[in-house]
Structure formats: structure tokens, C-alpha cells
């Protein structure tokens, strides 16, 4: 089941059980999904318009705007861009990780400010979000994957870290924290 579908199902369950904190958290997560889907659609539309050389007219005359609208519709149809765009699983997991990172930052700020109530609230939200991620890999598992990627790309020193990080992060998307992946790769490259 896709993360968004699972969140919707859990939202219904939380509403039935009257768990207001979880309902609020899941609704804000679904709002973040909606924003992400909207951004993705806007990027697809922008790319389609650029590909088909569709430029907004400078004037507002009806015939120019009608021609522009027709050109936009043709470009979207040619690129098969639907009205509703959804995030694929990797994008959804990335979004959830971003929300978790925001919670981690808020927890650190709350600890510095001595705000135990905020820290507790953010920790609960982070735990809810983490339940939608796949099982996280251990340091040893990340190390094994990193060694494979290092061998594949032929990395020999710390200068080659960028060559390793791109493929490795793509491979471990949603299953490991980027910071931990970076630490492991730094440790493996002389």
C-alpha cells in the first residue's frame, strides 16, 4: 500500500477512535502530500510548455489568450499530463523523510529553549511519521551497500564522494538517513 493510502486509512481510524493529536498530524501530512503533488504537476506543465515552445502572450487580447489556451491544452495533451498528479513511492518517502527532518530540527530547538511540551509533541509526531517509512537499515547494512557502490563507480578517495553518494542515496531512499549514509561513506573513503 502506498504511504498516502496508508495515511488516509489511518486517518479514518484515528477519527473513529477520537485521537485528535493523530488526526491533526495526519491531516497536516496529507496537506504536505497535496502541496507536493501540486508542485510536481506545475513542474510537469512548465516542462511541457517549454518543450512545445508555448509562451504566454504579452497582451490580454481575447484572440491571443484563446490561442495561448489552445496551445497549452495541446502541449499538455501531447505530454499526457493528467489533471491529478500523484507522487510515486520514492517521492512520497522523500516527503515523509523531509517532514521527519523538520520534526528533528524542532525537537533540537525545543531542547535548546527548554520547551519540554513542544519537544514531546514533536517527538510524538515524528514517531507517527516514522511508522510510514520502511524498516531502516543498520549501519552495517549501509556499509555493505556503500562498498558495492564504491566498487561499481571506482571511487578511490574522499574526492570521489559525490560519485558514490548519488547512486547510494537513490538505492537506499527511505531506508536510511542521509546523514548516516554520508558518515559511512566518509569512513570508507580514505
Q: What stretch(es) of the chain map to CATH 1.10.1510.10?
A: 3-130
Q: Domain 3-130 belongs to what architecture?
A: Orthogonal Bundle (1.10)
- DSSP assignments along the chain, one per residue: --HHHHHHHHHHHHHHTT-HHHHHHHHHHHHHHHHHHHHHHHHHHHHHHHHTT----SS--HHHHHHHHHHHHHHHHHTT--SS----HHHHHHHHHHHHHHHHHHHHHHHHHT-HHHHHHHHHHHHHHHTTSPPPPPHHHHHHHHHHHHHHHT--SGGGHHHHHHHHHHHHTTTS-HHHHHHHHHHH--
Tens digits of pLDDT across the chain (190 residues)? 688 899 999 999 999 999 998 999 999 999 999 999 999 988 988 888 888 887 887 777 777 788 888 888 888 777 787 778 888 888 888 899 899 999 999 999 999 999 999 999 999 999 999 889 888 888 899 999 888 988 888 888 888 888 888 888 888 877 888 888 888 888 888 7
Indicate the fold that domain 139-188 takes in CATH.
Arc Repressor Mutant, subunit A (1.10.10)
Amino acid at each position: 500500500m502506498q504511504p498516502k493510502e496508508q495515511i488516509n486509512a489511518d486517518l479514518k481510524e484515528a477519527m473513529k477512535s477520537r485521537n485528535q493529536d493523530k488526526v491533526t498530524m495526519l491531516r497536516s501530512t496529507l496537506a504536505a502530500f497535496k502541496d507536493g503533488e501540486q508542485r510536481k504537476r506545475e513542474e510537469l506543465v512548465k516542462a511541457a510548455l517549454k518543450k512545445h515552445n508555448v509562451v504566454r502572450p504579452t497582451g490580454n487580447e481575447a484572440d491571443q489568450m484563446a490561442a495561448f489556451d489552445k496551445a497549452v491544452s495541446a502541449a499538455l495533451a501531447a505530454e499526457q499530463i493528467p489533471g491529478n498528479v500523484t507522487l510515486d513511492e520514492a517521492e512520497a518517502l522523500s516527503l515523509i523523510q523531509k517532514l521527519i527532518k523538520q520534526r528533528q530540527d524542532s525537537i533540537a530547538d525545543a531542547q535548546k529553549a527548554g520547551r519540554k511540551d513542544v519537544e514531546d509533541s514533536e517527538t510524538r509526531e515524528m514517531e507517527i511519521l516514522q511508522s510510514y517509512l520502511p524498516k531502516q537499515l543498520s549501519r552495517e547494512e549501509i556499509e555493505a551497500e556503500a562498498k558495492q557502490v564504491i566498487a561499481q563507480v571506482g571511487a578511490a578517495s574522499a574526492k570521489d564522494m559525490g560519485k558514490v553518494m548519488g547512486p547510494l542515496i537513490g538505492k537506499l531512499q527511505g531506508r536510511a538517513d542521509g546523514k548516516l549514509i554520508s558518515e559511512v561513506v566518509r569512513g570508507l573513503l580514505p
